[in-house]
Amino acid sequence: VERLPKDPRFKILPAHQFHLTKEAKRKNDPLIFKELLTELTNFKGELVFIPVNNPNFHWSLLVFEVKTKKLYHYDTLGGANYQYVKPLVRELLEQIRGVRNIKEEYLSKYFVPKHGIRQNNGSDCGIAVIAIMRRIIELKNQS
C-alpha cells in the first residue's frame, strides 16, 4: 500500500478499521463506528478505500465515492464477503444519507457489488485488493 501513489483525492483507511468497527458495533460501542463514519463524511477528496478482512477467511475492498455517497464492494471470490460487510454498510449508509431502516431496493442503489474480477486461487485476495486500488487510481488519473 505504501507504493500506491500519494494523492489528496484518495484516502486509504487502515486494514483493521472495518473489522474493528464491526466488532465494536457487535459490542454496542458507538465511538469506533462514529470514527469510521467521520473518516468518510469529513474527507474532501474523491474516494476512500476501505480494505475489509473477514478474519481467517478473505480480503475484499469497499470504496466510498464521496460525491455520490455510494459504496462499491470489490470481491475477487464473487461476493464471498458481501454478507459480512452488508450490515455495517447498511448502518453507514443510513447515517451518511440520513435514511432510517433502509430497504433492500434503496440499499442496492448505494451499495454496489463489483465482483467481476476473480482470483484463481485461495490466497491472493490481499494482493488483489492492492491491485484493485492501484487500478482504480490509474483510471481516475486517466479521466
Distance CA 13, CA 109 (A): 24
- What would the mean pLDDT of 45-67 be, rounded to a whole number? 94
What confidence score (pLDDT) does residue 4 get?
Answer: 62
Instruction: Give the angle 51-14-76 at the CA atoms, nearest 5°.
Output: 10
φ/ψ bin of 78: left (φ > 0), alpha (ψ from -120 to 50), beta (otherwise):
left
pLDDT in tens, 85-134: 999 999 999 999 888 888 888 899 999 999 888 888 888 999 999 999 99
Strands 70-74 and 58-65: antiparallel
One-letter amino acid at 56 equals N
The pLDDT mean for the chain works out to 90
Q: What single DSSP character describes residue 5?
A: P
Q: How far apart are CA 67 and CA 6, in angstroms?
A: 20
For the entire predicted model, the pTM comes to 0.90
Per-residue pLDDT tens over the stretch 25-36: 878 888 888 999
The predicted structure's pLDDT at residue 1: 52
Q: 3 pLDDT band (50/70/90 cuts)? A: low
pLDDT score of 25: 81
- Residue spans per domain, the chain: 10-142
Instruction: Please tell me the CATH code under which domain 10-142 is placed.
Output: 3.40.395.10
